[in-house]
Chains A and B, each alone.
Chain A
Amino acid sequence: MSQYAALLLAIPLLAAFAMPLTGLIGKRIRNSWAIIAMLATVTAALLLVWEVLTQGTIVYAFGAFDSAQAIPFDSGGVPIRILFVIDAMSAFMILTAAIMMFAATLYSISSESEQTGQDGYYALLFLLMAGIFGMVSTGDLFNFFVFLEINSLAGAALAAYRIKGGVAVEGGLKYAFISTVAGLFFLIAVGMLYGQYNSLNIAYIASVIDFTGLSLVAVVLMIVSLAMKSGSVPMHFWTPDTYSSAPSSITALLIVSSMASLYAIFRIAFSLFGLTMNVVTIGWVIIILGILSMFIGVSMALPQKDVKRLMAYHSVSQIGYMLVGLGVGVAVLGDAQMLAQFGVVAMEGGIFHIINYALYKGLLFLIAGAVIYRCGTANLNDLGGLGHSMKWTMGFFIIAALAIAGIPPFNGFASKLMIYESVFIFNPFIAVIAMVVSIMTLASFVKVFHSMFMGPKLPQYETVKEVPMPMLIGMGLLAVLIILFGLFPDLVVNTLVEPAALALLDRSGYIASVMGGI
């Protein structure tokens, strides 16, 4: 049993709790510790992903020498150990989180260099990452709740970290509150399942689940709570408040955090409940949330004057695409013919969009942070002419903006195309809405481009220069990946996305990966 799964948690936790100690020695040592820990975590994540893609699903039993001991002989066939079940879908999410962690940590080294309280900042950043890695790896519902809480608390503290006259504190408080309420109702739902099936293990519950009235209550509470955590309309109101007030590198990680909640919706829908629930109704619920998110998100983004609030509303809009793609997969789960005809492609489009979205939206928030870092404002009315002095940042912005608008040959186009074409067969009306939303997204980012980078050099920004190298490297990495994912989409889909979609669909395989060890 390889130890990468354990290291995925152990390294960020160790890094987080040792951070204040390294800070006592010196700033340079603390920053070096943060970079070394980040590199070690990312390496463990990449090795784990490689192992899953080459060997199949990995079950890691904490406290056991072998994954075959996941179910102790005297437990009556019930897995009671803490288990990580990492299939291709989890590996896909781990890879997404690792890439974003690399870029955001590197970026933070420069963007936060002049700020106070960096020990706590990096400690919380690593706790946030530990929470995200735990959420997408665990095979246990209660553990998921624990990681959700770790992630939420660290995220709220980081969102409020730069007080900004109380605005950031308000954003952090709102995030903490909605996360706590969502976590509480998720826990109630877990209790309902535990009361019925005497276990917290996802695979075990999936193997014995019967869609009772209590299970119905549980699935609704879980999906709606996680939809609020992922920022879906009409529970999206916290996203502009929190995303706009958090440091930009943290906003990029909060994006991944919302993706982890989205992942949980699909894990619950496909692996936990599967065909035992009314997939058509639940699928349509997810699709409706997706359509609302797409349209309301983009239409609220268009009139915004604060660049980070504008981008936050676009986050809501982009989540809609993923909800629609995977919602169609849920809705046709019971019909093998429709699933084969377009359901799998819709799911692949939705999953592909997760990593694409993380890349370009993360990059856009880092660019917004770079502009704020140099100009001290996020107000689009006050900005202008930065293309003269921040050429690299402008280049990265063009790449990210074209990607989010779904312009070929960037990565956003490939995943959106998969969603458009498959969803069109399911319901043409939804595909038309998705395309209109893309056009509105492009219009919105034309506005941002014009406001920030075009026009003559403004007198107040006469001395503005390009951001420091670590920030450029962090942004550049994401820009390069956007281009590569756009140029070789088939490679990404065949290597990462398709196995992830098939892993979600293979409910019996997921159950067997844990229960097969009896």
Chain B
Amino acid sequence: MDFTATLFTGTGFWNPIIWILAFVITSIVAYLIWRSGVSTYQKGTEQVKPYLSGNAEPEKSAVHIGGGNLYWGFTEGLKGYYSRLVPLHTGDLNDYMLWYFGVIIAVFALVVIFL
């Protein structure tokens, strides 16, 4: 049993072991670059405090962004798509059944047309 064998996908291949080795090497290189950075950084001083245009930093619990606020821009940008898609999800069982029967009719039509 070969645990280091490669998965062939017909047109390509995938070897997780090689990927992990590459990941480790890349991480080491990144770490070495980071280490060669500015050495004047000091923990626990004014340097580490966020600069908010001179305003005081609010409490940590007051700045947590809830899930509902994320991707607001994405859904706003695709408002035209979402304004049609979301109302289809009515929660009404009658609608669920109509979709089911609609799909049966559509698939029948497809299968008969392209018989």
Chain A residues in the interface with B (C-beta under 8 A): 173-174, 177-178, 181-182, 185, 216-217, 219-221, 223-224, 227-228, 234-235, 237-238, 240-241, 278, 280-282, 284-285, 296, 299-300, 302-303, 305, 341-342, 345, 349, 379-385, 408-409, 413-414, 417-418, 421-422, 424-425, 443, 447-448, 450-451, 455-459, 486-491, 493
- In which size bucket is the chain B interface? 35 or more
Q: How far is the CA of A359 from the CA of B8 in the complex (A)?
A: 22
Chain A contacts for B114, CB-based, 8 A: 278, 280-281
Q: List 10 A-B contacts (CB under 8 A).
A: A221-B104, A234-B103, A235-B103, A237-B99, A241-B91, A278-B111, A299-B85, A300-B85, A382-B66, A409-B16
Listed residue (B11, B82, B103, B114) with the most chain A CB atoms within 10 angstroms of its CB: B103
Closest to B92 in A: A237
Q: Check B10–A489 contact: CB distance below 8 A.
A: no
Question: Interface digits, B94-115 against A, CB 8 Å rule (1 contact, 0 not)?
Answer: 0111011011100110111011
Chain A contacts for B86, CB-based, 8 A: 300, 303
Q: Which of B17, B66, B100, B110 contacts A285 (CB 8 A)?
A: B110
Main secondary structure of the interface of B (DSSP, over half): helix
Q: How far is the CA of A457 from the CA of B103 in the complex (A)?
A: 48
Q: Check A177–B93 contact: CB distance below 8 A.
A: yes
Q: Check B111–A281 contact: CB distance below 8 A.
A: yes
Instruction: Write the nearest CB–CB distance from B24 to chain A, whole angstroms.
Output: 12
Among listed B29-37, B39-47, B48-56, B57-65, interface-contacting one: B57-65
Q: Which of B5, B89, B93, B103 contacts A491 (CB 8 A)?
A: B5
Q: Check B93–A174 contact: CB distance below 8 A.
A: yes
Q: How far is the CA of A491 from the CA of B60 in the complex (A)?
A: 47
Q: Given the interface contacts A220-B111, A296-B85, A450-B65, does A408 sit within 8 Å of B10 by beta carbon?
A: no
Q: How far is the CA of A220 from the CA of B114 in the complex (A)?
A: 13
B80 interfacial by beta-carbon distance below 8 Å: no
Q: How far is the CA of A221 from the CA of B100 in the complex (A)?
A: 10
Q: Check A285–B107 contact: CB distance below 8 A.
A: yes
Q: Given the interface contacts A177-B93, A285-B107, does A421 sit within 8 Å of B68 by beta carbon?
A: no
Per CB-CB distance, the 7 closest pairs between chain A and chain B, nearest first, are A380-B67, A451-B67, A456-B60, A409-B16, A455-B64, A381-B66, A490-B7
Listed residue (B3, B67, B99, B104) with the most chain A CB atoms within 10 angstroms of its CB: B67
Q: Check B10–A342 contact: CB distance below 8 A.
A: yes
Closest to A277 in B: B111
